[in-house]
């Protein structure tokens, strides 16, 4: 798995992306199916890698009509930190409530939830997320519906994952306790591939 940061030359021009978008999008959406973990009804982790980040950057450039070097470099700087570097897993964490009022109430009850998301490998201890390194995404009244998480694994956790040990994921917050133990094999394998 290529974990190198993306560079300008790795990206499609806006014109080339318009031509390649449908095929690239289909490939990425298929890829993402093995990288999505629902933890209970209202929380989902979308594990990022070089391909998912490449797609996100291309979509941002397309929507914002960014074609100048400076703008492209800003997008690369914003999104490259989401590519795992071999010793960690990185995910976009979303709290999803369809009803606006319920969302507001729940986000007020879930302050700090982003720090209570965990991963464990085999019999290893829980590895709690390092959340929102780019910016603070909560205040005294509520947490955000979107967070960016990094799970920094110890060498023994990486070794266990690469050897086929089960991976489990959960949330241990006083107002939201859910887990997936163990992950489906296809998801486990996709995440293990992010490690070296």
pLDDT digits (tens, 9 = 90+) for 117-166: 999 999 999 999 999 887 666 677 899 999 999 999 999 999 999 999 99
Answer whether residue 22 is part of any domain. Answer: yes
3-state helix, strand, coil split of the chain in percent (to 5) is 45, 25, 35
- In this structure, is residue 36 part of a structural domain? yes
Question: 127 has which bridge partners?
Answer: 119
Q: Is residue 1 part of a domain?
A: no
Domain membership flag for residue 42: yes
Largest CA-CA distance found in the chain, in angstroms, rounded: 49
Look at residue 3 and tell me if it is in a domain: no
And the tokens for 30? 């298929």
Whose CA is closest to 168, among 160, 22, 145, 176?
160
Cβ atoms of 147 and 93 within 8 Å: the answer is yes
User: pTM value?
Assistant: 0.93
What is the domain count for the chain?
1
Hey, is 195 helix, strand or coil?
A: coil
Residue 132 located in a structural domain: yes
Per-residue model confidence as pLDDT tens digits over 31-87: 999 999 999 999 999 999 999 999 999 999 999 999 999 999 999 999 999 999 999
Residue range of the domain that includes 98:
8-192
**Rounded distance, CA 4 to CA 85, Å?**
8
pLDDT surpasses 70 at 183: yes
Does the residue 2 lie in any domain? no
């Amino acid at each position: 798995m290529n974990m190198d940061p993306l560079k300008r030359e790795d990206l499609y021009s806006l014109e080339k992306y318009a031509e390649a978008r449908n095929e690239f999008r289909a490939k990425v959406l298929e890829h993402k199916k093995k990288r999505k973990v629902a933890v209970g009804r209202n929380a989902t982790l979308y594990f990022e890698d070089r391909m998912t980040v490449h797609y996100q950057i291309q979509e941002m450039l397309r929507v914002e009509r960014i074609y100048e070097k400076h703008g492209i470099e800003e997008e690369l700087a914003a999104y490259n930190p989401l590519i795992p570097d071999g010793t960690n897993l990185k995910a976009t964490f979303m709290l999803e409530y369809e009803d606006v009022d319920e969302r507001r109430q729940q986000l007020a009850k879930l302050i700090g939830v982003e720090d209570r998301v965990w991963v464990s490998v085999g019999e290893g201890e829980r590895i709690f997320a390092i959340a929102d390194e780019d910016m603070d995404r909560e205040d005294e009244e509520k947490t955000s519906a979107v967070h960016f998480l990094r799970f920094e694994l110890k060498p023994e956790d990486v070794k266990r994952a690469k050897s086929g040990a089960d991976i489990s994921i959960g949330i241990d917050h006083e107002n939201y306790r859910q887990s997936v133990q163990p992950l489906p094999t296809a998801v486990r394998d996709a995440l293990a591939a992010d490690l070296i």
